[in-house]
Amino acid sequence: MKKYVGFVLFLLTFHLTFGQIDPIFYGLKTHYGIIISNSGEVKSISQANPYGIQLEYSRLKTSDKAWKTCYCYGRTGLSFAYFNYANPQVLGSSYNLLYFVEPYFTYKGPLKFSLRGTIGATYLDKIFDATTNPDNLRFSSHFSFYLALSLNLNYHLNDNYAINISANYNHISNGGNKQPNKGMNFPTVSIGVDRVINYEALQPKPRELRDHDMSIKYYMGSFFSLRSSGGEAESTSHPLIGFLGGALQPLSVINGVNAGIELWYDYSDEKIAELDMLDDSAFSSAVTLGHHFSLGNFYFLQQFGVYITRPKNIQPRWLYQRYSLWYSIGRSKRWTIGGSLIAYGKVADHMDGRLLYIIN
């Protein structure tokens, strides 16, 4: 235990002397929160207050090139987070390795306001087992995905130390690869301290660096996922292959609206129809409408999807939500990679990976 405490103190007090240009942050924060009960089946195991601790390393990039990725200053970094779900017999704990991006909305003066998006992998030490842990309908895979969105207030005490308080919305799911997969949404409040190296007051960037195009953009691409063929733990996973296209219309520097169409074939639905002898096609199509944030190379989309066709005996709902994060790559910024999460109300269904091409 003394070794771990010593390591944390080392991170918070160590001063690098190798002449980095960008400020470096070594952080330590604690979490406390609640678990959201998204269905009656998991209500009994959701009456708990998870808590955790997080260690992180990040860099505040100050170059003109980095600034143009979101037309703002921002931090990127890695962190390790441990969460205890205050229900050791059923939910246990998770160990999370995470990557985050954190653009600043304000940067003048000691008080800074930022938004952080986090993605990563989690290891869960308690999962569903029909014999030994039948109540854990939230987790069925030791390895799952972690997503989080955080609003942060950072206050610089001086050039060497900063404190922060954050409101975090955390989500864990295996992406529909194995059932049962209710997943978990658990908001937390966190308080932390950062040891800052090479910090200097941030200066406004010249207007010439902002090259924002207000013209409409069109996109087309494909997506891929693996989905379970049923609600039982022994269900197998099958590919889902889809295509999409649509348009992005900017309304301001960072806001816009979008509309599109999605087509996909789900081999897990094909398997379900075969096993249950249903007269359903595994082909689905939908139109999407939504809002998006555009920050340099990043797009964050929130969409509603309305089914045109679907396997109605398998999927009775006609409306879904989709949350997507895209990142433009290459010199032209036309090729774009990303991922999305599809949900029905409070229940996340599955995630996918996406490759797109954007046409001006």
pLDDT of residue 229: 61
Confidence band, pLDDT 50/70/90 cuts, at residue 5:
very low
Question: What is the value of pTM for the model shown?
Answer: 0.74
- In single-letter form, the type of residue at position 338 comes to G
Architecture of domain 212-359: Beta Barrel (2.40)
Angle (nearest 5°) at CA 303 between 326 and 175: 65
- Judge whether 337 and 312 are in contact, CB under 8 Å: no
pLDDT in tens, 94-152: 999 999 989 888 888 899 999 898 989 999 999 988 889 888 888 888 998 898 989 99
Domain boundaries, the chain: 2-15+22-197, 212-359
Does the pLDDT value for residue 329 go beyond 70? yes
pLDDT of residue 205: 82
- Supply φ then ψ for residue 191, to 5 degrees: -125, 135
pLDDT of residue 230: 59
pLDDT in tens, 216-262: 999 999 999 887 765 554 456 789 999 999 999 998 877 899 999 99
- Decide whether 2-15+22-197 matches 212-359 in CATH topology: yes
CATH code for the part of the protein at 2-15+22-197: 2.40.160.20
Mapped onto helix, strand or coil, the DSSP state of residue 291 is strand
Q: How far is CA 219 from CA 53, 179, 260, 287, in A?
A: 40, 33, 9, 14
pLDDT of residue 121: 93
Nearest to 337 by CA among 348, 347, 346, 327: 327
CA pair distance 337, 360, nearest whole angstrom: 17
pLDDT of residue 16: 41
Q: Using CA of residue 64, residue 67, residue 69, residue 70, what is the dihedral sign?
A: negative
Q: Where are the alpha helices (DSSP H) in the chain?
A: 2-13, 64-68, 267-276
Confidence band, pLDDT 50/70/90 cuts, at residue 33:
very high
